[in-house]
Amino acid sequence: MIVLHHVPQSRSMRVLWLLNELGVDFHVNEHPFDRSLRRPEFLSLSPAGRIPALEIEGERMFESGAMVEYLCERYPEAGLGRLPGDMDRMAWLVWVHFAETVSQHSASLTQQHVALYEDSMRSPVIMRLEAARLRKCYEAIEARLSTPVENRDYLLTSGFSACDICVGQAVYMARHFARIEDFTELSAWYARITARPAFQASLPQPGGGRIFQQDFYEAIDG
């Protein structure tokens, strides 16, 4: 049995989306976005007290990028990975891990807008700087999707893969702080991949927990 430890709207969402795409049996243990992740029982799964954690046949994993690589290798028939020897292997690895470049800026902004609950604790400079860095990430995705090759509906010419899942979920988080509407190809790609049933199934459930209480967070004045 596969067990995913998940906080809605966190990095674990990319693993949940992938599991839904794979169509395998799994169970989700949902956690709140609070200090309960520092309890000893959870630290035995993820020693830094971070989400996600994955249990699979008695083994444990605690890095989402590693989970994505492992699951794609474990279930190659789904076609979501690009295994060694595949012409797209290099690009697949780059874009799977580029998701973390996007996510680190979103994490900083989540801290500023959500975790720090008083304006006096927040930094307008960091908010503006990190939002600008997200837009630089959008520029990189836009450039990739604008490459004049056939079938560039996805990040890889060979079609939809786990790198679209990883970067797409990172953009889902980033959109709470930096808008994508000025990026034509990015916006079309994002609409395309988020229409997939597996993405929809990874969204927070009605009445369930979530990190973001707003669709968009503006930088405070300062």
Q: What was the pLDDT predicted at 62?
A: 96
CATH node for 89-197: 1.20.1050.10
Residues written for the chain: 222
Query: Residue for token digits 């990040």?
Result: 155
pLDDT of 79-129, one tens digit each?
999 999 999 999 999 999 999 999 999 999 999 999 998 888 899 999 999
What is the domain partition of the chain in residue ranges? Answer: 2-78, 89-197
Q: What was the pLDDT predicted at 117?
A: 80
pLDDT of 127-137, one tens digit each?
999 999 999 99
- Residue 131 CB coordination number (10 Å): 21
31 in Cβ contact with 37 (< 8 Å): yes
CA dihedral 190, 192, 198, 204 (to 10 degrees): 40
Angle at 145 between CA 144 and CA 149, to 5 degrees: 95
CATH node for 2-78: 3.40.30.10
SS (H, E, C) 119-183: HHHCCHHHHHHHHHHHHHHHHHHHHHHCCCCCCCCCCCCCCCCHHHHHHHHHHHHHCCCCCCCCC
Q: What was the pLDDT predicted at 147?
A: 77
Token couple for 216? 């968009």
Token couple for 204? 């927070």
